Amino acid sequence: MITIEQLISQIEQRQPVLNKAELSPEQRRLSLEGIGNLTTANCRQLSFLSNSHYLSSLANTHAGAVLITEEHHNEAPNDT
């Protein structure tokens, strides 16, 4: 398991996390227990968007967190 806060810390060793200030303390404490794709991930799983072809899945994902590029920053749901 890893919390969102721990994940942010790991990512920031290589690059900035653009939306971290928008995350509530509760969101930062969320524990992620695995990974899944955008369509099947649950609220305890991490997912990612690397291909614009799957952008429509981003709006409906139930993933607890989604890694996206800066290009798609404005496409991310507010609760993910």
| Overall average pLDDT of the 22-36 stretch | 96
Structure tokens at 29: 């404490």
pLDDT computed for residue 33 by the predictor: 97
The b/e string for 2-14 (b: 16+ C-beta within 10 A; e otherwise) is: eebeebbeeeeee
pLDDT computed for residue 80 by the predictor: 56
SS3 51: coil
- What pTM was estimated for this model as a whole? 0.87
pLDDT computed for residue 79 by the predictor: 63
Neighbours of 73 (CB within 10 A): 10
Quick: pLDDT tens for 50-75: 999 999 999 999 999 999 998 888 88
Tracing tokens 């810390």 back to the chain, one arrives at 9
End-to-end CA distance of the chain: 18
Domains along the sequence of the chain with CATH = 2-75 (3.40.1390.10)
